[in-house]
């Protein structure tokens, strides 16, 4: 497993940075190699990528999300990876966005790329493009105001004993996008 940790400071309030990061379908605007993201459910997205000439598709699940604080995810199929993005208020008008990601390079090319720091370089570029994107806009394109609690970990129990069921996720808010099913708009 390879771990990447990168941060970028953005000149927008924490709520603006967080709200923009919840707009997964805008990721192709600032993430190199991400061709398209489709919101399938409030917590599941379908990704289409093209990296190094290799096209891949996979689904990712938001595993934990707390407004203006953090978004964690992991893949449910395709290339195994997951991570967390946290948002740290520096002052009223600036935020540190910190990304921690783990992935498992599968092919020889991916292993070589990991050894050479290609993915780390790409993540650094993606965060720089996010900074430029959100600072130039000055406002988010929409917002997600739901909360996805972290599921109980091994050995933990829910409030009523046993494993706690996943709570229902409240609906999203924000600017609807053409073609989005109404219940999944963020």
pLDDT in tens, 109-128: 888 888 888 888 999 999 99
In this structure, how many other beta carbons lie within 10 angstroms of the beta carbon of residue 159? 7
Report the C-alpha dihedral over residues 104, 109, 113, 116, rounded to 10 degrees: 120
User: For residue 138, is pLDDT > 90?
Assistant: no
- 103 contacts: CB under 8 Å, gap ≥ 6: 1, 2, 4, 79, 80, 81, 82, 114, 119
Fold annotation for 2-22+64-140: Alpha-D-Glucose-1,6-Bisphosphate; Chain A, domain 4 (3.30.530)
Domain boundaries, the chain: 2-22+64-140
pLDDT at 64 (0 to 100): 96
Q: What is the tens place of the pLDDT at every residue in 55-91?
A: 889 999 999 999 999 999 999 998 889 999 999 999 9
**3-class DSSP state of 26:** helix
- 131 contacts: CB under 8 Å, gap ≥ 6: 8, 9, 10, 97
The pLDDT confidence band at residue 146, using thresholds 50, 70 and 90, is low
Place of tokens 């996010």: 130
User: For residue 34, is pLDDT > 90?
Assistant: yes
Q: What is the tens place of the pLDDT at every residue in 148-173?
A: 777 766 666 554 444 444 434 333 44
Q: How far apart are CA 88 and CA 74, in angstroms?
A: 22
Is-contact 77 92, C-beta < 8 A? no
């Amino acid at each position: 497993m390879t771990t990447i940790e990168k941060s970028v400071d953005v000149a927008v309030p924490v709520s603006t940075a967080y709200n923009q990061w919840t707009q997964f379908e805008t990721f192709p605007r600032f993430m190199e190699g991400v061709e398209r993201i489709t919101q399938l459910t409030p917590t599941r997205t379908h990704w289409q990528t093209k990296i190094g000439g290799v096209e891949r598709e996979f689904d990712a699940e938001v595993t934990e999300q707390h407004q203006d604080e953090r978004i964690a995810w992991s893949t449910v199929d395709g290339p195994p990876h997951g991570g967390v993005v946290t948002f740290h208020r520096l002052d009223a008008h600036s935020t540190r966005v910190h990304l921690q990601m783990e992935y498992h390079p599968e092919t020889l090319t991916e292993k070589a790329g990991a050894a050479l720091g290609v993915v780390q370089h790409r993540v650094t570029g993606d965060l720089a493009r996010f900074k430029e994107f959100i600072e130039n806009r000055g406002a988010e394109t929409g917002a997600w105001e739901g909360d996805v609690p972290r599921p109980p970990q091994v050995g933990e129990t829910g409030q009523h004993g046993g494993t706690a069921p996943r709570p229902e996720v409240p609906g999203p808010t924000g600017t609807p996008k053409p073609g989005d099913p109404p219940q999944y708009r963020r």
